[in-house]
Amino acid sequence: MSAMPTKAMPSIQKFMTPFPHSVRRDQPIQFAVDMMREHRIRHLPVQEGGKLLGVLTDRDVKLASSFKGAEKLTAEEVMTPEPYTVLPETPADQVAAEMAAHKYGCAIVQQANGKVVGIFTAVDGMRVLGEMLGTHYRH
Protein backbone atom coordinates (compact mmCIF):
# COMPACT_ATOMS: atom_id res chain seq x y z
CA MET A 1 0.00 0.00 0.00
CA SER A 2 1.63 3.25 -1.11
CA ALA A 3 1.39 6.48 0.85
CA MET A 4 -0.67 9.28 -0.65
CA PRO A 5 1.43 12.19 -1.87
CA THR A 6 1.30 15.22 0.39
CA LYS A 7 1.01 18.80 -0.76
CA ALA A 8 3.19 21.57 0.60
CA MET A 9 1.45 23.69 3.22
CA PRO A 10 0.38 26.98 1.63
CA SER A 11 1.58 30.22 3.18
CA ILE A 12 -0.74 32.63 4.96
CA GLN A 13 -0.31 34.99 2.01
CA LYS A 14 -2.67 32.76 0.02
CA PHE A 15 -5.50 33.24 2.53
CA MET A 16 -4.96 36.72 3.97
CA THR A 17 -6.95 39.80 3.08
CA PRO A 18 -4.41 42.00 1.29
CA PHE A 19 -4.05 45.74 1.89
CA PRO A 20 -6.18 45.97 5.03
CA HIS A 21 -7.79 49.22 6.08
CA SER A 22 -5.89 50.91 8.89
CA VAL A 23 -6.00 54.00 11.08
CA ARG A 24 -3.38 56.40 12.40
CA ARG A 25 -2.75 56.45 16.12
CA ASP A 26 -4.06 60.01 16.53
CA GLN A 27 -7.40 59.43 14.79
CA PRO A 28 -10.51 59.68 16.95
CA ILE A 29 -12.09 56.43 18.03
CA GLN A 30 -15.32 57.45 16.27
CA PHE A 31 -13.44 57.55 12.95
CA ALA A 32 -12.35 53.95 13.54
CA VAL A 33 -15.88 52.90 14.52
CA ASP A 34 -17.29 54.45 11.34
CA MET A 35 -14.63 52.74 9.21
CA MET A 36 -15.32 49.35 10.83
CA ARG A 37 -19.04 49.75 10.29
CA GLU A 38 -18.70 50.95 6.68
CA HIS A 39 -16.37 48.12 5.66
CA ARG A 40 -17.95 45.48 7.92
CA ILE A 41 -14.65 44.63 9.59
CA ARG A 42 -13.65 43.98 13.20
CA HIS A 43 -9.89 44.60 13.17
CA LEU A 44 -7.91 47.69 12.16
CA PRO A 45 -4.13 47.91 12.25
CA VAL A 46 -2.97 51.14 13.90
CA GLN A 47 0.00 52.62 12.07
CA GLU A 48 2.08 55.75 12.07
CA GLY A 49 4.53 56.53 9.28
CA GLY A 50 4.23 52.98 7.95
CA LYS A 51 5.10 51.47 11.36
CA LEU A 52 2.65 49.08 13.03
CA LEU A 53 1.84 50.20 16.57
CA GLY A 54 -1.09 47.95 17.44
CA VAL A 55 -4.47 46.66 16.39
CA LEU A 56 -7.86 48.11 17.18
CA THR A 57 -10.60 45.53 17.58
CA ASP A 58 -14.35 45.88 17.80
CA ARG A 59 -14.07 44.56 21.37
CA ASP A 60 -11.57 47.33 22.26
CA VAL A 61 -13.91 49.93 20.81
CA LYS A 62 -17.01 48.61 22.60
CA LEU A 63 -15.22 48.55 25.94
CA ALA A 64 -13.81 52.05 25.52
CA SER A 65 -17.18 53.39 24.39
CA SER A 66 -18.68 52.45 27.75
CA PHE A 67 -16.49 55.02 29.55
CA LYS A 68 -17.39 58.66 30.09
CA GLY A 69 -15.47 60.87 27.67
CA ALA A 70 -14.91 58.05 25.18
CA GLU A 71 -15.52 60.40 22.26
CA LYS A 72 -12.21 62.13 23.07
CA LEU A 73 -10.17 58.92 22.89
CA THR A 74 -7.79 58.17 20.02
CA ALA A 75 -7.01 54.88 18.32
CA GLU A 76 -3.68 54.68 20.17
CA GLU A 77 -5.39 55.01 23.56
CA VAL A 78 -7.78 52.15 22.83
CA MET A 79 -5.70 49.78 20.66
CA THR A 80 -4.12 46.50 21.69
CA PRO A 81 -0.35 47.04 21.45
CA GLU A 82 2.03 44.43 20.05
CA PRO A 83 -0.44 42.42 17.95
CA TYR A 84 0.36 38.95 16.65
CA THR A 85 2.34 39.39 13.44
CA VAL A 86 3.59 36.94 10.82
CA LEU A 87 5.57 37.04 7.60
CA PRO A 88 3.68 36.41 4.32
CA GLU A 89 5.52 33.11 3.85
CA THR A 90 4.54 31.71 7.28
CA PRO A 91 2.75 28.37 6.83
CA ALA A 92 -1.02 28.77 7.21
CA ASP A 93 -1.32 25.87 9.66
CA GLN A 94 1.23 27.49 11.97
CA VAL A 95 -0.70 30.78 11.97
CA ALA A 96 -4.02 29.00 12.65
CA ALA A 97 -2.49 26.98 15.50
CA GLU A 98 -1.01 30.09 17.15
CA MET A 99 -4.26 32.01 16.81
CA ALA A 100 -6.22 29.14 18.37
CA ALA A 101 -3.71 28.54 21.16
CA HIS A 102 -3.66 32.20 22.23
CA LYS A 103 -7.23 33.11 21.21
CA TYR A 104 -6.00 35.81 18.83
CA GLY A 105 -8.71 37.28 16.63
CA CYS A 106 -6.27 38.15 13.87
CA ALA A 107 -2.73 37.98 12.58
CA ILE A 108 -1.21 41.05 10.97
CA VAL A 109 0.88 40.02 7.95
CA GLN A 110 4.06 42.07 7.59
CA GLN A 111 6.99 41.93 5.24
CA ALA A 112 10.44 41.57 6.82
CA ASN A 113 10.84 45.37 6.56
CA GLY A 114 7.74 45.85 8.76
CA LYS A 115 5.35 46.95 6.01
CA VAL A 116 1.80 45.69 6.65
CA VAL A 117 0.65 43.75 3.58
CA GLY A 118 -2.37 41.85 4.89
CA ILE A 119 -4.50 40.60 7.72
CA PHE A 120 -5.77 37.11 8.48
CA THR A 121 -8.75 36.97 10.84
CA ALA A 122 -10.65 34.17 12.54
CA VAL A 123 -13.43 34.82 10.01
CA ASP A 124 -10.92 34.27 7.18
CA GLY A 125 -9.97 31.01 8.89
CA MET A 126 -13.59 29.86 8.93
CA ARG A 127 -13.95 30.76 5.23
CA VAL A 128 -10.85 28.70 4.39
CA LEU A 129 -12.07 25.78 6.50
CA GLY A 130 -15.46 25.87 4.77
CA GLU A 131 -13.83 25.86 1.34
CA MET A 132 -11.51 22.99 2.24
CA LEU A 133 -14.24 20.87 3.78
CA GLY A 134 -16.52 21.60 0.84
CA THR A 135 -13.85 20.53 -1.64
CA HIS A 136 -12.95 17.42 0.32
CA TYR A 137 -16.46 16.16 1.05
CA ARG A 138 -18.39 17.08 -2.13
CA HIS A 139 -19.59 14.17 -4.18
Each residue of 99-138: pLDDT tens digit? 999 999 999 999 999 999 999 999 999 988 888 887 767 6
d(CA 26, CA 39): 20
Please give the share of the chain, as a percent, with pLDDT higher than 90.
Answer: 70
pLDDT higher than 70, residue 3? no
| 29-39 and 58-65 helices, crossing angle to 10° | 130
Average pLDDT over residues 42-48: 95
Q: What is the DSSP letter of 5?
A: P
Q: Which of 2-6, 8-12, 66-70 has the lowest mean pLDDT?
A: 2-6
**Which pTM was predicted?**
0.86
Domains and CATH numbers, the chain: 12-137 (3.10.580.10)
